[in-house]
Amino acid sequence: MASHQVLAGFHAVVARLRHAPATIKEIYIEASRRDKRMQSFIDQVQAAKIKLVSVPAERLDGLAKGTRHQGVVALAEDNPLAVDVDEVLDILEDRGETPLFLVLDGVTDPHNLGACLRTADAAGVHAVIAPKDRAVGLNATVQRVACGGAETVPYLMVTNLARTLRQLKDRDIWVVGTDDQASSNLYAVDARRPMAWVMGAEGEGMRRLTRETCDELVTIPMAGSVESLNVSVASAVCLYETVRQRTA
């Protein structure tokens, strides 16, 4: 197969089986593993009529390329959930839903991206947006850490992040960035309106142009000695403040 995604681990493969089984070309399982979890997985694959191949653990190690696979690896076609922000917004408009986006400026660690996608799924985020030149793609590690989040939340990699933020603002999305130097904190934000939370990379934070494009900058209150939170934790704090306000 010329081009494919590698999905490693039970969560990543089962999520794809549940949401887009037609994109899976074949699944490899560890020949020596036949415990209850694996047998249940095999039953799912056979019910979906997908090609299943038993191979030695060494073959799986090679396919997964360093990602922990738990004895399960799938080769699948890409599964784009949305093409761009306008498509997402048009769908939300038709549904009458209030948009919620998560923007990641400079998150290049696959474990962090996977955790952000998992949190985004749990908090009801409609899309995660990142710049192509400063982001990691949906590789096997991201898919595994996301625990299915990558199958349900569109991950849009854009050429020009500032332009995309302006595009959101043109469609009445309030863009809020997190910044250690901001004068107000996140609890002052009215998160009931259509909005996008913007998170910068740990250490560097947001780039200057990204910061300047935001409608508002807020800080996450820090009472202890550490200077900042992990980006996935910071995302969770902000997203769940939105959830709290919208469900209060």
pLDDT tens, 45-79? 999 999 999 999 999 999 888 788 999 999 988 76
Task: Place 25 in a pLDDT band, splitting at 50, 70 and 90.
Answer: very high
Give 182-235 pLDDT, tens digit per residue: 889 999 999 999 999 999 987 778 899 999 999 999 999 988 767 778 899 999
pLDDT of residue 2 exceeding 60: no
Residues 63 and 127 in one domain: no
CB 137 within 8 A of CB 78: no
**pLDDT value of position 147:** 64
pLDDT at residue number 56: 92
Domain end: 76, 102, 124, which one? 76
My answer on whether 95 and 179 are in the same domain is: yes
> Which letter does DSSP use for residue 97 in this model?
P
Final residue of a domain: which of 28, 45, 76?
Answer: 76
Q: Among 30, 58, 76, give the residue marking a domain's end.
A: 76
Residues 52 and 93 in one domain: no
- Which residue type is seen at 127? A
Residues 36 and 98 in one domain: no
Count of Cβ atoms closer than 10 Å to residue 15 Cβ? 21
Q: How far out from the chain centre does Cα 153 lie? A: 6
Query: Which pLDDT value is given to residue 1?
Result: 40
Q: Are residues 132 and 154 in the same domain?
A: yes
Is the same domain home to 69 and 89? no
Known binding residue 200? Answer is yes
Residues 123 and 243 both lie in one domain: yes
Q: Are 153 and 208 within one domain?
A: yes
Evaluate if residue 24 carries a pLDDT over 50.
Answer: yes
* Residue 220 marked in a binding site: yes
Tell me the CB-side half-sphere exposure of residue 153, using CA atoms within 13 A: 32
Confidence of residue 39 (pLDDT cuts 50, 70, 90): very high
The domain in which residue 142 lies consists of 85-247
- CATH number, domain with residue 122: 3.40.1280.10
pLDDT for residue 149: 61
What integer pLDDT is reported at residue 11 of this predicted model? 83
For residue 31, give the CATH number of its domain.
3.30.1330.30
Q: Are residues 27 and 100 in the same domain?
A: no
Task: Label residue 3 by pLDDT band (50, 70, 90).
Answer: low
pTM as predicted: 0.75
